[in-house]
Amino acid sequence: MDRTEAGRKHICKAEEMEDNEEKKDINSSNSDRVTLKKEIGLLSACAIIIGNIIGSGIFISPKGVLEHAGSVGLSLIVWVCGGGICALGSMCYAELGVTIPKSGGDYSYVTEIFGGLVGFLLLWSAVLIMYPTTLAVIALTFSNYVLQPAFQNCLPPYIATRLLATICILFLTWVNCSSVRWATRIQDVFTVGKLLALALIIVVGLVQICRGHYDALRPSVAFEFSQDPSVGQIALAFLQASFAYSGWNFLNYVTEEVVEPRKNLPRAIYISIPLVTLVYAMTNIAYFSSMTPQELLASNAVAVTFGEKLLGMFSWVMPISVALSTFGGINGYLFTSSRLCFSGAREGHLPYLLAMIHLKNCTPIPALLVCCIATIFILCIGETHNLINYVSFINYLSYGVTIAGLLYLRKKRPNLARPIKVNRLIPVTYLIFWAVLLGFSLYSEPVVCGLGMVIMLTGVPVYFVGVQWKNKPKWIYRLVERVTYMGQKVCYVVFPQGDPSETEPLTASKATD
């Protein structure tokens, strides 16, 4: 896991295939550079952002947001403000994405700005719990909604939901291993599908409003609080909403696969975030046009309850629509989170095998398999829905550290080439909101937030043993060499060749800063 000469030897040996035919394939590929393919245009970039944001959150989080906000009116304000905060953060990420044009998102930026330890802690928490848990939640939502029509009067069996969720994750892992194009096409199609599903909810809700069914939305009723509002509870409502908005920064994880990233990255962000915010706000208004706050709080499947009340014999459309939405969300999370593992391995913070791609398909198969296995493990160890606050806390922590890094980078290296430079007020406003949210979250849920901090800090000894320790015993290198060699043969993977043109602004300015 370190970059010493001894650590490199096992990589060189592992890249030599046993069969002459395999050697011939690799030698012939030298003329055709083995690298991550640039197949993500503006449409696919928007689909990645929208597809990752709109997963299970809009069908799970309305209940949690309303519960903590205490009123319909305040919950709607939380949804709109949550989108506004994401817009501020996404503008900061647009600057970072074109200034440090590397895949890996938060991790790559934090590592570049603050150094290896801080980057590794972010990587550690993301790979260990954050993304596997989020994937598990989305997969369970998918299986619950698919099975709902067969178990109308009771909850689907525990084993059935886990089995279907596992099958879905395994299938999409195979798709992502087989072709980047297949994965992006699935993302495009299912993003359109989930927008159509939400459009159906919005249209039906607007019809209800036009018929006069909007009692819960009247200002006099909407701000009747079921509990005394507190800043701590509002902070928890924002954390619940942030789970539904999580994924707004995921295009930054695949920067090196975006066509003309300096143009398409910011364009996709500026198009997608306002669209999702509008859709989320209108969807919640539609929910409240046909459901009382008490009915929404009592429902474990908000969209299904909505469909049963308004769609009659066509109520089956809602569970299928939600299943399609979450299916696309799983695909998007697998696609992007695997690139985080890939980037971490490339920096030497994870085993080098995870930084290799398939010789012909140019997909990071080892990284995808790690994400798949970690998610299935989380599925098997128990219920995951209670971890939404916990995952949201880690998400927000990483966002704040990354955006603070933007301000620090401006001060540390003012001459760095920046194709986009946002107004300083934008990151400062985001960080003020971030500090208030995390502070009151720690006050309201000290155990949940404290456990998040503890898991992140467990990465400190791992970093010093795995990365900083330069003189490991030779048997460790031999073991890693053997595992890497076997992994390369099984997955048929090699190290990708970088494209220097993609990092020219960054490296060129290093000499002058």
DSSP type of residue 157: P
Mean pLDDT in residue range 11-21: 41
What are the phi and psi torsion angles at 40 (to 5°)? -105, 100
Spell 401-418 as b/e; 16+ CB within 10 A means b: bbbbbbeebbeebeebeb
What are the phi and psi torsion angles at 214 (to 5°)? -145, 35
Mean pLDDT in residue range 112-138: 87
- Per DSSP, the three-state class of 258 is strand
Taking residue 227's Cβ as centre, other Cβ atoms within 10 Å add up to 11
Residue 143 in this model has a pLDDT that exceeds 80: yes
- Per DSSP, the three-state class of 494 is strand
Q: How many Å apart are CA 249 and CA 273, to the nearest integer?
A: 10
For the chain, give me the number of helices (H) and strands (E)?
23, 2
Q: How many Å apart are CA 197 and CA 398, to the nearest integer?
A: 31
- Type and span of the H or E element at 261: helix 261-290
Lowest mean pLDDT among 242-246, 265-269, 391-395, 401-405: 391-395
DSSP type of residue 40: B
Where does residue 147 rank: exposed (0-12), middle (13-18), buried (19+ CB within 10 A)? middle
Predicted confidence at residue 500, as pLDDT, reads 46
Lowest mean pLDDT among 83-87, 156-160, 451-455: 451-455
Residue 21 in this model has a pLDDT that exceeds 50: no
Task: Give residue-wise pLDDT tens across range 246-272.
Answer: 778 888 888 878 888 888 888 898 899
What tokens appear for 150 in the block?
């067969």
Residue ranges of E strands in 261-310: none
Predicted confidence at residue 498, as pLDDT, reads 57
Predicted confidence at residue 183, as pLDDT, reads 87
Task: Give residue-wise pLDDT tens across range 440-490.
Answer: 777 777 877 777 788 788 889 999 988 888 888 889 889 988 999 998 888
Q: How many Å apart are CA 367 and CA 351, to the nearest integer?
A: 10
Q: How many Å apart are CA 195 and CA 200, to the nearest integer?
A: 9
Predicted confidence at residue 409, as pLDDT, reads 93
- HSE-up of 468 (CA within 13 Å, CB side)? 11
Are the C-beta atoms of residues 312 and 290 closer than 8 Å to each other? no
At residue 410, what is the residue type? R
State the pLDDT confidence band at 512, using cuts at 50, 70 and 90.
very low
Confidence (pTM)? 0.77
Q: How many Å apart are CA 254 and CA 385, to the nearest integer?
A: 28
Predicted confidence at residue 497, as pLDDT, reads 67
Predicted confidence at residue 170, as pLDDT, reads 95
Helix, strand, coil percentages in the chain from 3-state DSSP, rounded to 5: 75, 0, 20
Task: Give residue-wise pLDDT tens across range 219-229.
Answer: 888 888 877 77
Residue 10 in this model has a pLDDT that exceeds 70: no
Are the C-beta atoms of residues 114 and 413 closer than 8 Å to each other? no
Residue 172 in this model has a pLDDT that exceeds 80: yes
- Per DSSP, the three-state class of 470 is coil
Q: How many Å apart are CA 344 and CA 228, to the nearest integer?
A: 45
Predicted confidence at residue 388, as pLDDT, reads 61
Predicted confidence at residue 173, as pLDDT, reads 95
In the chain, what are the domains? 37-494 (1.20.1740.10)
Mean pLDDT in residue range 93-114: 88
Q: How many Å apart are CA 10 and CA 14, to the nearest integer?
A: 6
Residue 126 in this model has a pLDDT that exceeds 60: yes
Residue 505 in this model has a pLDDT that exceeds 60: no
Q: How many Å apart are CA 28 and CA 40, to the nearest integer?
A: 26
State the pLDDT confidence band at 16, using cuts at 50, 70 and 90.
very low
Predicted confidence at residue 431, as pLDDT, reads 93
Predicted confidence at residue 389, as pLDDT, reads 59
Predicted confidence at residue 511, as pLDDT, reads 37
Predicted confidence at residue 8, as pLDDT, reads 43
Residue 15 in this model has a pLDDT that exceeds 50: no
Mean pLDDT in residue range 336-361: 87
State the pLDDT confidence band at 504, using cuts at 50, 70 and 90.
very low
Taking residue 368's Cβ as centre, other Cβ atoms within 10 Å add up to 27
Q: How many Å apart are CA 82 and CA 231, to the nearest integer?
A: 15
Residue 9 in this model has a pLDDT that exceeds 50: no
- Average predicted confidence (pLDDT) for the chain: 80
Task: Give residue-wise pLDDT tens across range 362-391.
Answer: 889 999 999 999 999 888 876 655 566 566
Q: How many Å apart are CA 428 and CA 149, to the nearest integer?
A: 48
Helical spans, DSSP H, in 347-445: 365-381, 388-412, 425-444
Predicted confidence at residue 168, as pLDDT, reads 93
Question: C-alpha distances in angstroms, 307 versus 38, 92, 198, 295, 303?
Answer: 40, 38, 12, 13, 6
- Look at 411 and 456; give whichever has higher pLDDT: 411
- The neighbouring-strand residues paired with 391 are none
- The neighbouring-strand residues paired with 258 are 40
Mean pLDDT in residue range 81-104: 88
- Look at 383 and 312; give whichever has higher pLDDT: 312
Q: How many Å apart are CA 158 and CA 383, to the nearest integer?
A: 10
- Look at 471 and 407; give whichever has higher pLDDT: 407
Residue 116 in this model has a pLDDT that exceeds 50: yes
